[in-house]
Structure 1
């Protein structure tokens, strides 16, 4: 809690409890769907679930009760795995939702505190500032330069200046955006009773568009399902023609259908994205939409603001230039009357309760130089909000004796333009601005005006200002920023600075931070005066953009996207909203970011630490790479299952039904955890952040990578079929032949898991990668297959026979050779 600087005590704890009991909380209506019922419904409609149920029914119809009960057990196990994966994903998403919930600044027990918006109650006193979304309906108690945008409620996107003396215009509504200034209001309606709650609108209801990777996965699964249906009909038809046994033929057809269906792929995708988002959250990076995780690894350009991102956002009044005495003074030397007048005027031009770092610094400086604090003696009479290009603002105060202060501050160019200085004096001031800026100072001009009447001009620019001087703030670069920039450059990612500050200051800070820039900075106005072709060229080649405003920022983002760049954009203010929304990866600051910036962004840096973006890109690359490994593994291991089931049936070999549904379901249970748990926990491969970004349009299903998976699958198929023919040649019976084939396939699955941990590094390198779950999953798999082969009860049920040591040696050797050849391919890749 913080000291309350406002004349409102707020509710007490007792009043809060009473209000909550009588009027409820501020949570909007939530979905009434039972999450468990929804999950059960989804599980019961999955194709694999339906196939298992059908197989169970057929087994019971044929009187094969043990197989029927086994399939029922398999249904429970598959459903449990599905629930577990769904639960992991939903828990991750719920945690993200809790972190992205907006906070409100509230006065309670005469203390300032921050709490989640949903916890507001009727009667609360809420403080809202520029860039925030109003958290509840209420009646305004105090305003300073306060305007809102109520387009979410009205559909009309224009600024409304509020008035305490108007019944309707003195109210605010949940969902409106504070466009400028600061206000304090008393909550009059919460939750479903608010205007937004009654209309039923919510930004969270907007469904995000599916990414290219999602669409490709859906298309691939649909095609595989269609292929499975076709093969099912063929196998069923062939068997029926040969045996005239409807149920037996149907069972063989369902076996092949189960082997074709790649139901692990969508599960793996959802798990990787949700768990990746949770991992990022644990690092202080909130991903609002899990699809952003996919995009992170493809980022080619990061556009960053300067203040608070590159710099520490610790504004200190470091230097002033006093026009009257023509002196440049450092902190501690502000003893002259002219210097004190300059600092005092800059303070009066700021908000009475400051929330901007520079305005806070001015108030602190005033406290050190003022012999008597005159702030309580003056009242706000009139104000002109920050406006113009470049911007300035003016405040008017008056005391009871009639003494009036008209104070203006803002971009020096704006105040000089409307001052009474001569051209020669203006040139001298411009030189001083350059001197300050070269040292990396953030520079504001300060001026004073006189006006006798109360019919103040409509625009602040109509005053005749007396220019008092300059105030220079120093905000040093963050200590780690040069290292962060190097990480991005090494990863092949371009960096661009987009800031509202002037060119010289930005260039100085960029140089101190070892930022790479080959062209001079370009301003927003200069950029928009160029032809479209020149704009595109400048945006592509320049790295520093200054004096930027919303239209210019948006132009840079859209142009980069037109040039097929994957763009990340950092921002914290209201004017960053359009650019953040337009960027592929909008990045808002968690501490200093405005609510509109957070709403418009897809990613939030909790502690405003830009270095976390390098971690986020690394995580994005890791997740994509591991997802690709998992899906290529799924494709590779499905092929031998399909062909080992289908070919003996189609070709009429000695033992056509070498696998039954119980064998296929066992293999499916082995594959599920391997793809979605083992590969999800794989670490980032070395040199992953030394590679250029992959194009977003490139996915795991390009022809080359798909071909690799197909060849791997065919090689394992050759191994299983070799084991089959070897058993036949040696006169083995059906159970022993099945055991040879089954063991070869399971062991090939284990070797494939190890080999596919990297498509570049050797297996000897990847064995040193830390992944505790890998050992556990492989250990469980080997234990289970050993139990199935060598424990009589299990072997009898699965129709397997114990293998002798030479027979086991053949199965191990064949499975090893059918997979290890890929190490040769990787060796050639490394040499290339």
Structure 2
């Protein structure tokens, strides 16, 4: 086949593993391993399974919606080769049962006629007999080289396309909009709603019709709201995904005489098809590598990068193609091709490499449909606590059964009272209340133009420990200001710096390099491109002209030219030259561009001066990279000195070089020559010095993050000296801290490189205490440490702050390594070269103009790091609020639990209206008001608690529970000690509601709900002051006034409605008792606040936790110093 060198389904490098029962798979683009198991349908197992479901009234069928792993009970294990179903489990423990499908497939040289495959999360896995395993369909092209891609320009014939369409599936990222019925079924069979249905049925049987009706109405409203929100989200994702079936594309088909154009539906594109890109641009339906010509592309939809990017074909090489590595040659699905450039009658062609959900756009949609599981200790603790609450409910149920059996109550009464305990201890409103804080935080973030596609990560922002930043465009401005150029005197020292480059002669190779070595293009008469290129070209005062469609047909014309705007020395001898009427003939044609890549750290252009007999190759890039391309004799003596002088002062320095090419080289040769052939024995021209100023907000935000006790890290592709200067300038590195620069010294034959360590700005080896220094290193040193010196990794990860010359993969490696140290890591970047790192981080923030980016779960439209501060503030607020609401809901349940058991003992219970008031009016409003708390105004060094089972949290909760119980018992004890009190007599199935026991417990517990809300409303400094939460203050004032009214002087109709007894205002004993009932909540309030504040600020607890942390830190420091004790160089460090 044209697209494959060999049979795509045959791979002799893999050893046949036999008829295995299971295997592992890797999800493309994610560090997640799947385990898959083979299963076959068993009639006997299925019969037993359905019989059990029938006996249990179909309950297991509902359970299967949330526990699908039990579906496998209908099947038996078998080999993967003969499996009918595939059981997929991921590293998060999630389970999926996939159907294996078969279809006929007749590829050339293919030895099998059947294709067996299954689909998991829109990824297709096919069975390869040669390997005896399933592989992702992407693996078929994982060793495809650039040469293999570029060698066939005729495309696929119709038969090949049809067969590959079976193999890869259609080119569509269409997401179906879920119907209301599907959403309704999913919502109704949610455990939360099922529990509410159970509660409503139970309350109806117990004649709690009012409360059951209210809960039913509220549940219905909640369900409808969730249904509408889910529908809207489904529509939004559907629109974002779009569709490919609505438009057609032009592809090439091979014929006997060559090739022909053919129009096909975009949904039928397959890898190997050759696309014809329209001259007026288009929206890409797939990922494709450019074969001929060039394109100007707007990729803001995916990366958020608003600057159009110029892309062209890759150089011929045996390098394995990668959509990430070769992104400057790849057109991504969903991006907009604005313009195309081509030569003569040639077309702009691109070969399809990925389709459907395997494209960059498809990956974005999959990241939204299947977000990465967030493992957070708080949620795990909450689940454990709810389980613990069920055990408490079991004890309460046992007590209720014992109590009612002793009374001789009927079975129905015993069951109703016993089951009622479950709805009290585990309140149905708990899940909704728990998410309130996150929902309000997300709304506030949206107002600040920060968009989130994974709301649970907002809470994780509250426990961030390490925050990594890209430099350019994140900490510093996108644009660079031209400072000067420093010309080189070949082999001698640098010449004087030149501030005004227009003073240089047009024939100067340095000026020619500045004017031609860029990726700029003209879009609707305006220059577009990299900000550095724009500034550089602007200061040359030259102009860029690109030929239009009418003159690209002539092969002797170059696609783009640059020329000065004033007369030059080279034009002085031209006959009849009039500088005021003639167009200046001095021009440089740009024949071929080699676009910048992070791995190459440079870009180049093949150019020719009009009238000159030979072409010239200009290159610019990282000075270290450029110096390696140049002949040693052309490098100035003070190369390193001058470079360090400028970079250490924060300037961005670019190296420039050129090389005259062979006079015999023609245009065709220039299009085919490899870059490696050009980039050797070049002549060094000098330095371009650019000034990259910090953004206005950077320094202040960095200071505030330091105050928040957060470790800050800079990871950039820029020069390490520039990065260290910027880190100093924005106070990321504190004034009292020294920077230790670790450098790997290159060795011949790729031998193990020794390491050198020096304190920047000082001489001699570093001998510093642990707290007074930070580490800086480059990407090559990072690679050397990972490969040869793994014992130094703990030191680097603990003290590393500035990482320069880091490629995209190395940025991801750093984030992952920090996470392996059990740190919560964030990353903030522009989403261009940082996609991998932003995805890998716990909290990835992309500075982008889009609402959602393929790069990160958070997207900020404000192009500065203020968003980091806002996210940390909101994260700490959401975390603190979630803790407060959970504790409040737990105590609300236990308050009602104790009150019900006390009333059961005294032949009473709460009335319907009392339940209605407590559960819907009182606690629900208070819980929602708690969630509306805004974040504190500033960041502090203190961190919110992250564990519900920490010693302090458990002690606080336990003491509050004991206090609640003591207060209720005290209130009943005081009541029973009154001379006017008479106990009630109840029968086996009779409960008295309007009695003194009920009234006292109802009034006392109503105050307790208010008291606990007051206690947990105080969340300073993570939440704003208590009085700033107006809804909370209003709720407390209103509810407290109402409860006091019920106690002091309720109207008769109100007392009757609330099922309470009225105190006689003329009876002095009852007046004294009323005073006691007011005094008890007041004492409870003081004691409750004392418990919270005392334990939170307890010196003993603080000393204990500090002692534990200190010991852990001492152990870590000891291990770090053991790796490099006092920075005395070990044997492998010189």
Aligned mates of 1:43, 1:580 — CA distance in 2: 34
Distance apart, 1:195 and its partner CA: 8.9
Cα 1:219/1:187, change in 2 over 3 Å: farther
Aligned mates of 1:604, 1:98 — CA distance in 2: 20
SS at match of 1:599: coil
Aligned mates of 1:98, 1:773 — CA distance in 2: 37
Cα 1:815/1:88, change in 2 over 3 Å: farther
Cα 1:409/1:755, change in 2 over 3 Å: same
> Is 2:823 the partner of 1:565?
yes
> Is 2:518 the partner of 1:357?
no
> Is 2:1075 the partner of 1:809?
yes
Distance apart, 1:776 and its partner CA: 2.5
Cα 1:399/1:759, change in 2 over 3 Å: closer
Aligned mates of 2:203, 2:660 — CA distance in 1: 91
> Mean Cα displacement is larger for which, 481-490 or 734-743?
734-743
Match of 2:941 among 687, 691, 694: 691
Partner of 1:112: none
Partner of 1:544: 802
Deviations 1:432-484 (A, max 9, x none): 22232233211111222222313343224534422222111111112332221
Query: Residue 492 of structure 1 contacts residue 690 of structure 1 at CA under 8 Å; is this kept in 2?
Result: yes
Query: Residue 557 of structure 1 contacts residue 582 of structure 1 at CA under 8 Å; is this kept in 2?
Result: yes
Match of 2:447 among 282, 304, 309: 282
Aligned mates of 1:495, 1:388 — CA distance in 2: 23
Cα 1:779/1:622, change in 2 over 3 Å: same
Query: Residue 349 of structure 1 contacts residue 393 of structure 1 at CA under 8 Å; is this kept in 2?
Result: yes
Distance apart, 1:773 and its partner CA: 0.3
Match of 1:371 among 543, 554, 565: 565
1:493-572 alignment to 2 at 5 Å? 493-516=710-733, 517-520=737-740, 521-530=776-785, 531-572=789-830
Distance apart, 1:801 and its partner CA: 1.6
Aligned mates of 2:674, 2:1060 — CA distance in 1: 92
Match of 2:202 among 54, 62, 67: 54
Query: Residue 306 of structure 1 contacts residue 498 of structure 1 at CA under 8 Å; is this kept in 2?
Result: yes
Partner of 1:202: 366
Partner of 2:997: 737
Query: Residue 630 of structure 2 contacts residue 684 of structure 2 at CA under 8 Å; is this kept in 1?
Result: yes
Partner of 1:604: 859
Cα 1:158/1:767, change in 2 over 3 Å: closer
Query: Residue 779 of structure 2 contacts residue 804 of structure 2 at CA under 8 Å; is this kept in 1?
Result: yes
Partner of 1:799: 1059
Cα 1:767/1:276, change in 2 over 3 Å: closer
Query: Residue 394 of structure 1 contacts residue 460 of structure 1 at CA under 8 Å; is this kept in 2?
Result: no
Partner of 1:15: none
Partner of 1:319: 484
> Is 2:591 the partner of 1:381?
yes
Aligned mates of 2:1055, 2:418 — CA distance in 1: 24
1:55-134 alignment to 2 at 5 Å? 55-59=203-207, 67-68=208-209, 70-79=210-219, 82=222, 125-126=282-283, 129=297
TM-score, normalised via structure 2 length: 0.59
Match of 2:1030 among 768, 772, 775: 772
Cα 1:663/1:187, change in 2 over 3 Å: farther
SS at match of 2:1001: helix
Query: Residue 217 of structure 1 contacts residue 266 of structure 1 at CA under 8 Å; is this kept in 2?
Result: no
Partner of 1:749: 1009
1:673-684 alignment to 2 at 5 Å? 673-684=924-935
Name stretches of at least 5 consecutive residues in structure 1 with no aligned partner.
1-24, 60-66, 103-121, 136-141, 149-153, 164-170
Partner of 2:675: 459
> Is 2:686 the partner of 1:469?
yes
Query: Residue 484 of structure 1 contacts residue 614 of structure 1 at CA under 8 Å; is this kept in 2?
Result: yes
Deviations 1:121-157 (A, max 9, x none): x99734764976779xxxxxx9633569xxxxx9986
Aligned mates of 1:585, 1:130 — CA distance in 2: 26
Deviations 1:378-426 (A, max 9, x none): 6653333335866222122458867744321111222222223517x34
1:291-302 alignment to 2 at 5 Å? 291-302=456-467
Aligned mates of 2:923, 2:235 — CA distance in 1: 25
Give the number of aligned pairs. 746
Query: Residue 390 of structure 1 contacts residue 411 of structure 1 at CA under 8 Å; is this kept in 2?
Result: no
Query: Residue 300 of structure 1 contacts residue 693 of structure 1 at CA under 8 Å; is this kept in 2?
Result: no
Aligned mates of 1:30, 1:818 — CA distance in 2: 53
Match of 1:420 among 612, 628, 631: 631
Query: Residue 484 of structure 2 contacts residue 689 of structure 2 at CA under 8 Å; is this kept in 1?
Result: yes
Query: Residue 718 of structure 2 contacts residue 804 of structure 2 at CA under 8 Å; is this kept in 1?
Result: yes
Deviations 1:199-232 (A, max 9, x none): 9973322243143222332333244245435633
Partner of 1:10: none
Partner of 1:11: none
SS at match of 1:306: coil
Cα 1:770/1:185, change in 2 over 3 Å: farther
SS at match of 1:668: helix
1:303-342 alignment to 2 at 5 Å? 303-323=468-488, 326-332=494-500, 334-337=502-505, 341-342=509-510
The structure showing larger relative contact order (alpha-carbon pairs under 8 Å, at least 6 residues apart) is: 1
Cα 1:831/1:37, change in 2 over 3 Å: closer
Distance apart, 1:76 and its partner CA: 3.5
SS at match of 1:600: coil
1:593-742 alignment to 2 at 5 Å? 598-649=853-904, 652=905, 655-660=906-911, 662-670=913-921, 672-685=923-936, 689-693=939-943, 698-730=946-978, 731-732=980-981, 735-742=995-1002
Query: Residue 397 of structure 1 contacts residue 406 of structure 1 at CA under 8 Å; is this kept in 2?
Result: yes
Distance apart, 1:250 and its partner CA: 3.1
Distance apart, 1:28 and its partner CA: 4.3
Query: Residue 567 of structure 1 contacts residue 583 of structure 1 at CA under 8 Å; is this kept in 2?
Result: yes
Partner of 2:619: 408
SS at match of 1:337: coil
Bigger proportion of residues as helix: 1
Cα 1:534/1:599, change in 2 over 3 Å: same
Aligned mates of 2:700, 2:232 — CA distance in 1: 31
SS at match of 2:834: helix
> Mean Cα displacement is larger for which, 535-544 or 385-394?
385-394
> Is 2:602 the partner of 1:392?
yes
Query: Residue 502 of structure 2 contacts residue 539 of structure 2 at CA under 8 Å; is this kept in 1?
Result: no
Cα 1:707/1:639, change in 2 over 3 Å: farther
Aligned mates of 1:576, 1:161 — CA distance in 2: 13
Cα 1:497/1:664, change in 2 over 3 Å: same
SS at match of 2:939: helix
Distance apart, 1:431 and its partner CA: 2.5
SS at match of 2:1027: coil
Aligned mates of 1:303, 1:418 — CA distance in 2: 32
Partner of 2:385: 220
Aligned mates of 2:697, 2:206 — CA distance in 1: 66
Cα 1:807/1:751, change in 2 over 3 Å: same
TM-score, normalised via structure 1 length: 0.78
Cα 1:433/1:96, change in 2 over 3 Å: farther
SS at match of 1:202: helix
Name stretches of at least 5 consecutive residues in structure 2 with no aligned partner.
1-171, 243-277, 284-294, 304-308, 522-527, 544-563, 567-582, 741-775, 983-993, 1066-1070, 1100-1134
SS at match of 2:177: coil
> Mean Cα displacement is larger for which, 93-102 or 579-588?
93-102
> Is 2:514 the partner of 1:346?
yes
Cα 1:301/1:234, change in 2 over 3 Å: same
Query: Residue 887 of structure 2 contacts residue 957 of structure 2 at CA under 8 Å; is this kept in 1?
Result: yes
Distance apart, 1:535 and its partner CA: 2.7
Query: Residue 297 of structure 1 contacts residue 621 of structure 1 at CA under 8 Å; is this kept in 2?
Result: yes
Cα 1:274/1:98, change in 2 over 3 Å: farther
Structure of greater Rg: 2
Query: Residue 441 of structure 1 contacts residue 474 of structure 1 at CA under 8 Å; is this kept in 2?
Result: yes
Aligned mates of 1:92, 1:779 — CA distance in 2: 38
Query: Residue 89 of structure 1 contacts residue 270 of structure 1 at CA under 8 Å; is this kept in 2?
Result: no
